């Protein structure tokens, strides 16, 4: 099983790198590198600071969800886990590998339980799912609100976004509401049922049981975070010379963010870059500039992710030192 997972992850990494290499060959890797070398560092620096602000906002969102379950992990712990998770999101296959790291680390450090006999692991997984879900729903809703005020968008892009956004909002609402999906899965084996007593049902109890006040608070914080995230994309665009209205990024950002959920790339590399080409092309941005912009977004994410890597390494070395000392005294 471990060998199969290793080869699967290795194939995803290879696919991501192959897609990126193919794109750079298509648009001109040397030209992309020239654009990146002449990028506006002030814009990229501001994007990094806003990325850190976005992480803080998301930590508050995650904490709200835990409080709704009667759990109260410290802000410091959740911030550390988010920073570490952000690094692993950047370097692991798919854009949610860091979420797995968050769950594992939190489960090891917080052994609390929530009402209804759900385990601390179920709470960690469930809150991470709701954390992600409210962010996506808020981003889609923002895009729909701004869409009428986004001029010169290609009709195909408008319809693509409307279909994806409405479908996502409907699916997310059904997932959070809970009753329909429980009814639909009630007669499945306990391992697959959302209404039984299995692990999946425990996790879903957290997803659908956070309560309206917590969900609305999470959506509010998600809206604030997504506004920050849209500005980050806009700043990365400005850094490489893209001059399009900010309203365009309300449509672009959700579509590019969805590529992070596809488990075939490392931190969106390759997948996000290919998707960006027709989106930017619809407003007249050259392919070379579009590729430089998405790579700038990845660079900002990785730069902030290095903070999480430093935390992870320092804590790992500290733990190793404590175990060495303990073994030496025995």
Per-residue pLDDT for the chain (330 aa), expressed as one digit of tens each?
A: 555 555 455 555 665 666 666 666 767 778 888 998 999 999 999 999 999 999 999 999 999 988 888 888 888 888 988 888 888 888 766 555 666 677 777 766 655 444 443 456 777 788 888 888 999 999 899 989 988 887 777 888 889 889 989 998 999 998 888 888 888 888 888 777 888 777 888 888 888 887 888 899 999 999 999 999 999 999 999 999 999 989 899 988 988 887 776 666 666 666 788 888 888 988 889 999 999 999 999 899 989 988 988 888 887 766 656 656 555 554
Q: At what angle do helices 287-329 and 29-37 cross, to 10 degrees?
A: 70
Structure tokens at 230: 């849209």
C-alpha Rg value of the chain to the nearest Å = 21
Token pair in block for residue 240: 């490489």
Q: Cα(324)–Cα(321) distance, rounded to whole angstroms?
A: 5
CB contact at 8 A, 155 and 251: no
- Predicted local confidence at residue 288, as pLDDT: 92
DSSP 8-state class, residue 266: B
CA distance 206 to 299: 34
Q: Give dist(CA 255, CA 278) in Å, integer.
A: 12
| Contact status, residue 99 vs residue 267, Cβ threshold 8 Å | no
Residue spans of alpha helices (H) in the chain:
2-27, 29-37, 41-67, 75-91, 97-109, 120-146, 155-177, 179-185, 199-208, 212-239, 246-258, 271-281, 287-329
Q: Are 240 and 289 in contact (CB under 8 A)?
A: yes
Domain ranges of the chain: 2-329
C-alpha 230/C-alpha 173 separation (Å) is 23
* CA–CA distance, 300 with 43 (Å, rounded to integer): 10
| C-alpha to C-alpha distance for 328 and 312, rounded to whole angstroms | 24
Q: Is the pTM of this model over 0.85?
A: no
Contact, 300 vs 46, CB < 8 A? no
Angle made by CA atoms 311, 317, 321, in degrees to the nearest 5: 145
């Amino acid at each position: 099983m471990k060998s199969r997972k290793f080869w699967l992850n290795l194939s995803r990494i290879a696919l991501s790198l192959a897609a990126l290499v193919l794109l750079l060959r298509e648009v001109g890797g040397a030209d992309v590198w020239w654009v990146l070398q002449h990028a506006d560092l002030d814009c990229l620096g501001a994007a990094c600071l806003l990325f850190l602000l976005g992480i803080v906002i998301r930590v508050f969102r995650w904490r709200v969800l835990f409080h709704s379950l009667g759990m109260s992990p410290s802000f410091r712990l959740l911030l550390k886990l988010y920073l570490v998770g952000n690094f692993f999101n950047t370097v692991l296959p798919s854009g949610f590998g860091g979420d797995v790291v968050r769950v594992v680390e939190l489960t090891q450090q917080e052994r609390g339980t929530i009402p209804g006999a759900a385990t601390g692991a179920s709470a960690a997984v469930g809150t991470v799912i709701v954390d992600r879900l409210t962010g996506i729903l808020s981003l889609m809703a923002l895009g729909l609100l701004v869409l009428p005020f986004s001029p010169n968008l290609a009709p195909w892009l408008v319809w693509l976004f409307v279909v994806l956004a409405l479908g996502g909002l409907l699916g997310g609402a059904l997932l959070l509401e809970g009753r329909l999906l429980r009814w639909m899965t009630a007669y499945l084996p306990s391992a697959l049922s959302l209404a039984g007593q299995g692990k999946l049902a425990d996790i879903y109890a957290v997803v659908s049981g956070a309560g309206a006040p917590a969900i609305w608070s999470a959506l509010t914080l998600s809206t604030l975070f997504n506004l920050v995230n849209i500005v980050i994309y806009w700043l990365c665009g400005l850094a490489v010379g893209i001059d399009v209205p900010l309203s365009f990024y309300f449509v672009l950002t959700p579509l590019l963010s969805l590529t992070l959920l596809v488990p075939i790339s490392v931190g969106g590399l390759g997948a996000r870059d290919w998707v960006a080409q027709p989106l930017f092309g619809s407003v007249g941005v050259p392919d070379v500039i579009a590729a430089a912009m998405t790579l700038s977004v990845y660079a900002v994410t990785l730069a902030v992710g290095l903070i999480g890597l430093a935390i992870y390494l320092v804590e790992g070395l500290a733990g190793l030192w404590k175990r060495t000392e303990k073994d030496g005294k025995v």
